Amino acid sequence: MPATHKSPKRGKQRDGSVAALFSAKRPAASQDGGRSSSRHKTPVSEDEMSDGNPAEADTTSILTHMREMRTYLAGEIDRSTKIMQADLMALGTRTAALETRVDDMADAHNVVVDGTNMLLRRVEDIEIQMEDLSNRTRRNNLRIRGLPEGAGEGSLADLVRDLLRPLAPDLPDQAWILDRAHRALRARRAEDERPRDVIVRFLHYSTKELILRNNRGASISYEGTPILLFQDLTPITLQRRREWKPVADLLRNHKIQFAWGHPLKILAFLDGRTHVLQPRMDPSRFFKALGITPPGRLRTPEPTSYIPATFLQRMENRWWQCAQSLWTCPDLR
């Protein structure tokens, strides 16, 4: 039987499409940052972990770095705390020195303020005394207002005697002795303006007072020109009384007799009683006693002075006060 020769078997050719289905696929990159791959990671066996797993090495390295970071941060915090403590101590020392200097300056300021206020009071007292002395030297003086310039043919003294004699006709000739009679010491005005006042000094004070008293209920004139008589006063006193003119006009409008007191007050006479108005007094009581209703805009001005109305203020030791009572100090709340 003839031998039959079998052809050798050819290896089966693998179908690429089939092999692709059963071959291991490499993980594709996902869009979730690798979270899905880590979620499906194959568990690591104990042998692989014992052989030095990279994850364990990373954990050990991270823990080591954290310990080093903790030690470093603790050292930095301690160093920064010591620096801050040193700065605070230096700042406290400087603040204490500044407080001491401020206290010294406040004490020196208070010494100057006390001395200045004392001098201001003394100056005010001296001004009042000088004004009083100046007015006392004018007690015998009489100021005549309204007498025309160049009036009379003789001397000014003779004209004044003839003008005032009707006010006190019973006085003897010796009572009419005048020390001087002259116009106010200022430049002469034009003829159409008010004439200068005439200042007359009587030898006897009683004569001047009698003339002023009798002139309150009478009137005198020269050739039809009204003549007014006043007590001669210093310019300062006149300026102060000028500020009280609204009060004087109100009394005149109500036909109430009044007189000026020294240094600055008004004496009103009504029904046999004398009512006084002085600076820093309540004017409503004065007008109520006289039965007058003053207008709302009427005010009694304060007397004019050459010194400040208020004295200098002292400085208090605020730090010492606040140290005693912290809650009462608004600056430290």
Better-predicted residue by pLDDT, 26 or 133: 133
Q: How far is CA 97 from the centre of its chain?
A: 30
Query: In this model, does residue 35 exceed pLDDT 70?
Result: no
Q: Are residues 206 and 147 in the same domain?
A: yes
Q: Which domain, by its residues, includes 216?
A: 139-232
Query: In this model, does residue 320 exceed pLDDT 80?
Result: no
Q: CB-based burial of residue 5 (10 Å sphere; 0-12 exposed, 13-18 middle, 19+ buried)? A: exposed
Q: Is residue 315 part of a domain?
A: no
Residue 176: which CATH number?
A: 3.30.70.1820
pLDDT at 125: 87
Query: In this model, does residue 269 exceed pLDDT 50?
Result: yes
What's the rounded Cα separation, in Å, for the pair 91 and 98? 10
Report which of 109, 115, 123 is spatially closest to residue 307, judged by C-alpha positions: 123
Q: CB neighbours (10 Å) of residue 312? A: 15
Q: Are residues 150 and 224 in the same domain?
A: yes
Q: Is residue 73 part of a domain?
A: yes
pLDDT at 8: 45
Q: Is residue 293 part of a domain?
A: yes
Mean pLDDT of the chain: 78
> Which positions ≥6 away from 219 have C-beta within 8 Å?
226
Q: Is residue 3 part of a domain?
A: no
pLDDT at 30: 46
What's the rounded Cα separation, in Å, for the pair 182 and 15? 152
Summarize pLDDT for 60-77 with one digit per residue, the tens.
888 888 988 999 999 999
Q: Is residue 215 part of a domain?
A: yes
Q: Are residues 111 and 146 in the same domain?
A: no
Q: Are residues 248 and 288 in the same domain?
A: yes
Query: In this model, does residue 106 exceed pLDDT 60?
Result: yes
> To the nearest whole percent, how much of the chain has pLDDT over 70?
73
Give SS3 for 270.
Answer: strand
Query: In this model, does residue 211 exceed pLDDT 90?
Result: yes
Q: CB neighbours (10 Å) of residue 81? A: 10
Q: Are residues 69 and 124 in the same domain?
A: yes
Confidence of residue 5 (pLDDT cuts 50, 70, 90): very low
The mean pLDDT of 238-250, rounded to a whole number, is 85
Give the end of a domain, one of 232, 259, 289.
Answer: 232
pLDDT at 56: 82
Count structural domains, the chain: 3
pLDDT at 318: 61
Amino acid at 203: L
Q: Is residue 227 part of a domain?
A: yes
pLDDT at 4: 45
Summarize pLDDT for 42-61 with one digit per residue, the tens.
444 444 444 557 778 888 88
Which pairing describes strands 265-270 and 273-277: parallel, antiparallel, or unpaired? antiparallel
CB 279 within 8 A of CB 303: yes
Better-predicted residue by pLDDT, 189 or 120: 120
Q: Is residue 47 part of a domain?
A: no
Q: CB neighbours (10 Å) of residue 132? A: 14
Give the end of a domain, one of 203, 232, 261.
Answer: 232
Helix axes 235-243, 54-137, angle to 10 degrees: 110
Summarize pLDDT for 133-192 with one digit per residue, the tens.
998 999 999 999 989 888 877 889 999 999 999 999 999 999 999 999 999 887 777 666
Give SS3 for 115.
Answer: helix
The mean pLDDT of 7-24, rounded to a whole number, is 46
